[in-house]
Amino acid sequence: MNYDEYIEEVRKYSSDEVIARLASHLKNWKSDNTNVIELADSIEKFFGNSWISNEETHSHLYRLWASFKTAAISGIGGMTVNERLYWFCLFERYENASEVEQQVIYAKLCANT
Render each residue's pLDDT in the chain as its tens digit; 113 residues: 999 999 999 999 989 999 999 999 999 999 998 999 999 999 999 999 999 989 999 999 999 999 999 999 999 999 999 999 999 999 999 999 999 999 999 999 999 85
Count the Cβ atoms, other than its own, within 10 Å of residue 77: 8
The reply to whether 80 falls in a domain is yes
- The total of structural domains in the chain comes to 1
Has residue 113 been placed in a domain? Answer: no
Residue 76 lies in a domain: yes
- Asked whether residue 94 is domain-assigned, the answer is yes
Question: Are 104 and 70 within 8 A, CB to CB?
Answer: no
Tell me the C-alpha distance between 21 and 79, whole Å.
30
**Distance between CA atoms of residues 113 and 53, nearest Å:** 43
Domain ranges, residue 78 = 3-108
Supply φ then ψ for residue 86, to 5 degrees: -65, -55
| DSSP-based helix, strand, coil % in the chain, nearest 5 | 70, 0, 30
Residue 57 domain-assigned? yes
Q: Is residue 49 part of a domain?
A: yes
